[in-house]
Amino acid sequence: MGAFLVKRMLFAVVTLFAVLTLVFIVIRIVPGDPAQVILGDQADATAIAALQKRLGLDRPIWEQYVTFLTGAIRGDWGVSLVTGRPVIREILDVLPWTLELTAVSMVLGTGIGVPLGVWAAINRNRMPDYLTRIGSLIGLSFPPFVSAILLLIIFSLALRWFPVISGNRATPWAWFQSIMLPALNLGLIMAAYITRVTRSAMLEVMQEDYVRTARAKGVPWSVIVWRHALRNALIPIVTIVGLYLGILIGNSVLTEIVFNRPGLGKLIIGALNQRDYMMLQGMMVIYTLIVVVVNVLTDLTYALVDPRVKLS
């Protein structure tokens, strides 16, 4: 286990270095001048040149890269070109919002997806199976920004159960109200994926000899399904949950904007529009770190759900 973790950490460092370099190059290749964006469309060439100098954008690319890399190693990700505040501070201000949304969405997605998938599998080619398959197909087909607007129209405007503007942590109830719709929006789409994967994994496992043997021995049906079959079907489900976590963070960009929640999504859109290089670099580091950590956790979970898997 220890060797496995050390190996993965080394791999993570190499990945981070590659991502940092790639991001540094790519965002400078993309046209668009931060100084122009900051100063607005009335700025003259002299003012733009002065700001470029102040931001260090007039220096050679390699010099900017060395400064950026040495800063990043020391944990200094620089200051936002737009707000002048430290990048790390800006990210840490909103990171908990995105992590919270991702976590609740994942709980909802898994909590809805796994039981539905099992239900569909044990009722193969019957009404529950058809309904679940149609439902999951609808879930997969809906872009998150469309489902977000629909949820708002139904639950916020017509029924008035939830607020349109999310991001309220004043009381536990306010928190619940403000997170439910965005999490449901992301969670339902995730549930659609998980339902389909769970169904097919369960169908495969249910054909196994040991399931037939357990049934012949008179083991209760619920024990067969939930203890024997589901446990053995968990590996593909864990894989898809791990993979989907990255997608969830990606989908949270649009969800945060439509539900007006703070988070990395809103930050990255603003940074892109304003060509805030420093902010984009910092955010890419965070996204990469999240993906690396999730992959490690997924690997560890494999060993947890299936003792035959060796971490080496």
Q: In angstroms, what is the minimal distance from the CB of 28 to other proteins? A: 13
- By C-beta, is 8 or 275 nearer to other proteins? 275
Residue 45: how many CA atoms within 13 Å on its side-chain side?
A: 0
How far apart are the C-alpha atoms of 201 and 99, rounded to whole Å?
A: 29
Of the pair 7, 53, the CB lying nearest other proteins is at 53
Q: In the chain, helix, strand, coil percent, each to 5?
A: 80, 0, 20
3-state secondary structure of 185: helix
Q: How far apart are CA 150 and CA 143, in angstroms?
A: 11
Q: Which amino acid appears at position 263 of this protein?
A: G
What's the min distance (Å) between Cβ of 23 and other proteins?
Answer: 17
- CB neighbourhood size of 302 (10 A): 17
Q: How far is the CB of 75 from other proteins (least distance, A)?
A: 20
C-beta of 39 vs 211, nearer to other proteins: 39
Question: Within 13 Å and on the Cβ side, how many CA atoms surround 207?
Answer: 6
The 3-state secondary structure of 243-266, one letter per residue:
HHHHHHHHHHHHHHHHCCCCCHHH
112, two tokens: 């809805």
For residue 86, the SS3 value is: strand
Smallest gap from residue 89 Cβ to other proteins (A): 9
State the residues that interact with other proteins by CB under 8 A.
30-33, 36-47, 50-51, 54, 82-85, 90, 93-94, 149, 152-153, 156-157, 160, 163-165, 167, 257-260, 262-263, 266-267, 269-270, 273-275
Closest to other proteins by CB, 154 or 304: 154
Residue 53: HSE in the Cβ half-sphere, 13 Å Cα cutoff: 6
- As measured in angstroms, the least distance from the Cβ of 37 to other proteins is 5
Between 47 and 247, name the residue whose CB sits nearer to other proteins: 47
Q: Which of 136, 274 has the CB closer to other proteins?
A: 274
Tell the smallest beta-carbon distance from residue 223 to other proteins (Å).
48
Q: Rank residues 206 and 267 by Cβ distance to other proteins and give the closer one.
A: 267
> The tokens 């990700």 sit on which residue?
77
Nearer to other proteins, 246 or 262 (CB): 262
Q: How far is the CB of 267 from other proteins (least distance, A)?
A: 7
Residues in a beta bridge with 86: 79
Q: In the complex, what is the shortest distance from the CB of residue 102 to other proteins, in angstroms, rounded to a whole number?
A: 16
Contacts 24+ apart (CB under 8 A), 240-243: 240/193, 240/194, 240/197, 241/106, 241/109, 241/110, 241/194, 241/298, 242/294, 242/295, 242/297, 242/298, 242/301, 243/298
